[in-house]
Structure 1
């Protein structure tokens, strides 16, 4: 049975991810801007939560590791390899500096071994684009699937205990600096994946419990966004290089957990009343393609200044302009590729 509320959730998740990237281009300084930025940034946990939910809902009952991984390679890894390779070819042929080359330890490209090492480093970290770090991380999660099968088979108390331990660890380790370490990302995002599994296992209970708490959950999300501003000078995601050095507790992941439950409460009601909203269904179906394409659209609009007067715009004004443009252009490009490549488009863009 198709879960319309989760189709809508996938649409909201990809909008959140693109929005977080759009708002990060300009400096955000005032209190209210930082609160808004905290609410907008950090959309990736929503995607991880959904992935964990569907791991149990779809794959668990007839789980076959080889078939599962083959599907993920085809639908996730192949588009990543294709688009990352195109990006590297562009960087090398155009003379544009390789992103994060110093951080990755790439100092020279004199021999074929240097190019091979460079290629491997960019595929491992996903740093051909500011968004592609997600693919090496999520492929590690998929490779760990037998552990999640074992997790599902544990008793309720054991599952809850493991989730709480994973959450505490995530709050300590923060996200990796520059998103350059996939294993560090696994430590941070693991509780979101486990939470998705737990919600799938206890979906009826969660839905009934959250049914009339939409406003309370919304207030909780806003409270945590404000609390983060009061504690930390910056905004959005917390990053650090060394996972187990203590530098405060990550509040954003708590906010995103509450945000997941807020959307579950809101979207369940919405899907019951409006079970076929075309725009949300289209965004859900094209979500992975939008994810793969939107970094390049945003770089063109803002980084290469294809958008007129982009430098004169304030942070939030630039966001209001670039966010819908990035979504529309990314969706249009994805649609054209899908029409042109037919069934091969799934290997190119994930749609």
Structure 2
């Protein structure tokens, strides 16, 4: 019989904050691409860049949570058992939603179908290229689940494992400047090993209790550094600054921040349903609500993205509650 899983309230609140950020990322991306007609946040105004910098650590935060939970409940489980349970949880909804939107694309583009390209597009779903574009996270998540436990078993020394992962990440990132293929999925997935490992370290070495007295300093440092980095408008400088300074610091800062408000009912609620919100909020709700705002002429600034985000969360939760109360839940989840 399985042991009762340990539960940490701040992780659920962090999940709630992360899913808010995910929705906002997609809302602000629409604003960038379809309202401002720009292809990079480094080309827009300071306030828009600042919002993006404050929310863009969402995926690292989710991977951090996964690593923390691995250390908390799963690090001693047999590899096959761990993989089977974790992958089974995400693979069915991933396939159902991916195939649904893949089929929709076939129907809407029936006149231009090429069988070879169609097969390539379908296979690319499994490395992160999806019509339901937020689902790129699922192949990333599965790759991390497959790889990290092997590293954990093979490299017992935490310091050596930390250096090994950092070495892989730096090597991949450096080579991606010269080899475009290495900058794409699934090669760029290795970067997120850092956050899974960070989550494990935070759990295993009780970082919360050891560093909680410094939480104000950590949060303040994050705010100051974010404000400073946002002044940068050079694309090739922004990449390494965000990957190796801003996002790791954002994970730490938001982690200590949610510890202060870990019982917040809204974050707890959104955290409980974060996986379903992630699956269902795009490519329809957030995009269509954003389009409506644009079409009626009320998308004036990046701050309207927050209103779009709120409506998206509400509509997505209504849809999930409808699904939850019907037979459809078993078909999707």
TM-score range, shorter chain: 0.7 to 0.9
Within 1, Cα distance between the matches of 2:14 and 2:56?
16
TM (normalized to structure 2)? 0.83
Q: 1:146 to 1:5 in 2, by over 3 A?
A: closer
Q: Does 2:299 align with 1:298?
A: no
Query: Could you tell me which residue of structure 2 aligns to residue 39 of structure 1?
Result: 54
TM (normalized to structure 1)? 0.79
Aligned pairs (5 A) from 1:1-351: 1-27=6-32, 29-61=44-76, 63-95=77-109, 109-111=113-115, 113-150=116-153, 154-166=156-168, 168-169=170-171, 172=174, 181-203=184-206, 206-233=207-234, 238=239, 249-271=240-262, 274=263, 277-295=264-282, 296-302=284-290, 305-307=291-293, 309=295, 311-341=297-327, 344=330, 348-349=332-333
Q: Displacement, 1:57?
A: 1.2
Within 2, Cα distance between the matches of 1:179 and 1:283?
35
> Where is the helix percentage greater, Structure 1 or Structure 2?
2
Q: Displacement, 1:194?
A: 1.2
Contact 2:65 2:199 in 1 (8 A): yes
Unaligned runs of 5+ in 1: 98-107, 239-248
Q: Displacement, 1:87?
A: 0.3
Cα deviation, 1:10-37, whole Å, max 9, x if unaligned, reads 1111111111121122236222331222
Query: Could you tell me which residue of structure 2 aligns to residue 244 of structure 1?
Result: none
Within 2, Cα distance between the matches of 1:288 and 1:279?
15
Cα deviation, 1:112-143, whole Å, max 9, x if unaligned, reads x5533331123333321231111111111122
Within 1, Cα distance between the matches of 2:20 and 2:181?
22
Unaligned runs of 5+ in 2: 1-5, 33-40
How many residue pairs end up in the alignment? 316
Q: 1:187 to 1:73 in 2, by over 3 A?
A: closer
SS at structure 2 position matched to 1:2? coil
Q: 1:33 to 1:316 in 2, by over 3 A?
A: same
Q: Which has the higher contact order (CA 8 A, sep 6+)?
A: 2
Contact 2:219 2:254 in 1 (8 A): no
Within 1, Cα distance between the matches of 2:64 and 2:17?
13
Quote the RMSD (CA, aligned, Å). 3.1
